[in-house]
Homo-oligomer: A and B are copies of this chain.
Amino acid sequence: MTQLKQGKPVRGTGVREAAAQATRDSILRAATKVFARYGYDGGSVEKISQTAKTYDRMIYYYFGNKEGLFIAVLEDIYQRMDDAEAKFAPDPSDPVEALKTVVRFKVAYYRKNPDFITLLNTENLHKGKHVSKSPRAREFSAQAVTLIADILAVGAERGLFRSDLDARDVYLLIVSMSYFYTSNRYTMSAFLGEALDGAEAVARWEAVVIDCILRTVRVDAPSR
């Protein structure tokens, strides 16, 4: 379809509205789980309604259609990621430690939220067509980039970090390394012949990433 149908938001604060909100939430949670596990095409409306212990019809009532539901799921996981990022908020005044914290947060977040990854991969498979239909999804954008920029600025000011860095690049470097490691753990484990998802292996990777990032941002030692 081309025209996006909208489901009704739940309004009001009465008892019935609360019940309705509960139904809506339970559908959203179920859809997140099902889409994350089976992808967009593999995640059927029936699987979702059963997981949510409600009826197919309710999905159409609240979200218009399957696509509308998927968009709502994307908006929701972006929102939750944004909230989590705002919450952990490292202090830029110690730029080295702050950068380490950012990496640790990213590695941990992807590892603990594999749904986030498979949903984003699913969306990329569809060339971002759902995100592009969501006005809300565009709002989030890069508070994380701003944070990196702050850290880099403090670091540069103190002569610790290079001053020719683009915060966006550093952000992308951190995200790449953190995301890919979880995202491709199954094929990579098979390819390398060793498991990547043990706690020990993850800790090791975290150290590698921190080392890599710090070496990248630090000023070159003055050559003699």
A residues lining the B interface (CB < 8 Å): 1-3, 38-42, 44-46, 49, 55-56, 118, 120-125, 127-128, 131-132, 137-138, 140-142, 145, 168-169, 172-173, 175-177, 179-181, 183-193, 205, 208-209, 211-212, 215-216, 220-224
Shortest Cβ distance from A202 into chain B, in angstroms?
A: 12
List chain B residues, Cβ under 8 A from A177: 173, 176-177
Query: Contacts A180-B180, A212-B212, A215-B215 given; 12 further ones with Cβ under 8 A?
Result: A1-B49, A1-B56, A38-B41, A39-B40, A39-B122, A39-B125, A121-B121, A123-B186, A131-B187, A176-B176, A176-B177, A179-B184
Q: How many copies does the complex hold?
A: 4
Who on chain B is nearest to A134 by CB? Answer: B190
Cross-chain contact of A123 among B45, B187, B209, B222 (Cβ < 8 A): B187
- Assuming the contacts A1-B56, A221-B222, asked whether A192 and B142 have C-beta atoms less than 8 A apart, the reply is yes
From A132, A145, A175, A223, residue with most partner B Cβ within 10 Å: A175
List chain B residues, Cβ under 8 A from A190: 128, 131-132, 137-138
List chain B residues, Cβ under 8 A from A56: 1, 3
Who on chain B is nearest to A177 by CB? Answer: B176
A153 to B174, CA, bound (A): 26
A216→B212 contact, CB < 8 A: yes
Who on chain B is nearest to A217 by CB? Answer: B215
Shortest Cβ distance from A206 into chain B, in angstroms?
A: 12
A216 to B209, CA, bound (A): 10
- Assuming the contacts A215-B216, A221-B221, asked whether A186 and B124 have C-beta atoms less than 8 A apart, the reply is yes
8 CB-based A-B contacts, threshold 8 Å: A1-B46, A3-B56, A120-B187, A124-B183, A141-B191, A172-B180, A173-B208, A180-B180
